[in-house]
Amino acid sequence: MKIRNTILISLLMLAFVAGGCSSDRTATPDGSSSANVNVRLQKSSLAARVDQMRLTVFQNEAVITQATTTVVDGAFSFGSVILPVGTYFFVVEGIDILPDDNQLIIYSGSSQVEIGPGSNPVSIDVAPSVQMVRIAPYELLTAASATFTSKLEIWNIPEFRSGSFTIQLDPARVTFVGASASNEDWGTLEIGSEVVENELTLTVTRISESDIVPARQAIIDLSFSAVAAGVTTLAPVIVSMTDDEGEIPGLATVYEESQNVRIVGGGGGDRGVLSGYVYDATSGGVLQGALVSITGPASRQTTTDETGLYLFEDLQYGTYEVTATISGYISLSRTVDHSSQVTTSIFALSQQLQAGQYRIVLSWGENPADLDSHVWTTLSDVIYEIYYGDQGSAATVPFILLDTDDVDGYGPETITIYQLTNTAVFAVKNYSGEPAITTSGAQVEVYSGSQKIGNYSVPTSGTGIWWYVFDLSPQGVITERNTISDTPPLSSQDGAPSGSAAKSLR
């Protein structure tokens, strides 16, 4: 889950810019005109594992002092900070590692404080503010395809200067090929790599800067080569990260979460792997034990594992009808063109609905990372738009709910209509902006009761970020539109600029 808070990001940036310009970061003011300030901070409903927090106090954009402290049971204090009477800005930050999302999170809090004579207790709430580093999932690969890539993502934190990252390798399964990075917003990233036995260590240094604040994440592409088929574990470990003033508190923690990579056998010539995942359309959770069958040049069936993965190895190229089914869900069939070493098709299954209810399920490929579902309808002459910024409600007006908002590729993104009085208009926005939505392979399935009543594929031609898919009447009659344009079918509240950085604010 991405953390969205522009105000705190701006405060962090201001604090670090001020810190970089200050020549006196630790000077203690003259006590003759000072007040004792006890700073005590408490986390607000956080189950974080932050070990240290850093306090920065500045006045008129000049840093007056900094201090660090150790977190104990979610509460901590910086003790006494000696400051002259006046107005100050306090910024507190720390970093936590979240194994579920495989990312680092900055926690921060801030307050403007009037310092008067005597004791001035200050309390600042600390909350998540922004994702900093994420190691993206490794791809499924075939031994025949030789190489595969993973990505290390460093998000728009301008104080980043250098970091050390270690990835555990199984030399019997994979070998390291190389690493590269390019992002003009971030200036130049220099990458050093060293493999010792089963460990790959990357040293990433930002050696030059651009004139603008980074608007996107820096991407480091890691290339590996498959040695043999089988399941192997690649364990990313973040050893440290530093800014221009030294190590950022909390980042010395070793991250031990592992990721499994399945190297599948076969392939080569006119044969490859057909695979994918089966999800619950409303929750986005994986469905273990779903039966997936294929018919075409070959007929096979398998069941999904604990990660929701289905896999057909060493499969002859051709056009296949792929069907996913599991008890309590509406079966979904799709025609898949299998013509590459690894063909991926994602299935999001819908639970059965009551009469008069509808469910719209959007799924797509890896890129663009973020497509958004939008539904418009009217009630009592009021136009309602259901999307990520206003997710609606199942029990109250407008009786339409955005069940799942996916922001990192594939989907599902699901909207359920519980009551429909007037026509509903459905469209998809390419929030990422690029690549074009026409290259996304997006599919929209529409369900009513226990049946699928519509299936639509994104056009492969046209220009624009909006895909106007269909209109749906209260009687369940679908009028297909299937057009690409730069404007939505109706006026939209989503006026945010395209791009992952802007999307993270919502």
Global confidence as pTM: 0.57
Cα separation of 16 and 4, whole Å? 19
Question: 136-264 maps to which CATH number?
Answer: 2.60.40.680
CATH fold of 271-344: Immunoglobulin-like (2.60.40)
Residue-level pLDDT at 366: 83
Cα separation of 78 and 69, whole Å? 6
> 6-131 and 352-503: same fold?
no
Residue-level pLDDT at 1: 24
pLDDT values of the chain reduced to their tens digit, one per residue, 506 residues: 222 222 223 323 333 333 332 223 233 344 434 555 555 544 443 444 555 677 788 888 888 888 777 665 555 667 677 788 889 888 877 665 444 444 455 567 788 888 887 777 777 777 655 444 454 444 555 555 556 666 666 654 455 667 777 777 777 777 888 888 766 556 677 889 998 888 888 887 777 665 544 445 567 777 877 776 666 666 655 555 555 555 443 333 333 344 556 666 655 678 888 888 899 999 888 899 999 999 999 999 999 988 888 988 888 999 999 999 999 999 999 899 998 877 888 899 999 899 899 999 999 988 898 999 999 999 988 999 999 989 999 999 999 999 988 888 888 999 999 999 999 999 999 999 999 999 999 999 999 988 999 999 999 999 999 999 999 999 999 999 999 999 999 999 886 433 332 333 22
**Of 279, 342, 281, 333, which Cα lies nearest the Cα of 312?**
342
In sequence order, what are the beta bridge partners of 230?
263
Backbone angles phi and psi of 365, in degrees to 5: -90, -165
Specify the CATH class of 352-503 in words.
Answer: mainly beta
Residue-level pLDDT at 166: 75
Place of tokens 């005109």: 33
Query: Quick one: 6-131 is in which CATH superfamily?
Result: Immunoglobulins (2.60.40.10)
In sequence order, what are the beta bridge partners of 94?
107
> In sequence order, which residues have a C-beta less than 8 Å from that of residue 123 and are 6 or more positions away?
40, 41, 42
Place of tokens 């934190």: 157
Q: What is the DSSP letter of 500?
A: H
Residue-level pLDDT at 44: 40
Residue 83 and residue 29 in contact, taking contact as beta carbons nearer than 8 Å: yes
Q: DSSP E strands: which ranges in 389-504?
A: 392-393, 400-404, 413-417, 424-430, 443-448, 451-457, 466-472, 478-485
Query: Where along the chain do its domains lie?
Result: 6-131, 136-264, 271-344, 352-503
Residue 359 and residue 375 in contact, taking contact as beta carbons nearer than 8 Å: no
Q: What share of the chain is helix, strand, coil (3-state, %, to 5)?
A: 5, 55, 40
In sequence order, what are the beta bridge partners of 58?
63, 89
Residue-level pLDDT at 483: 96
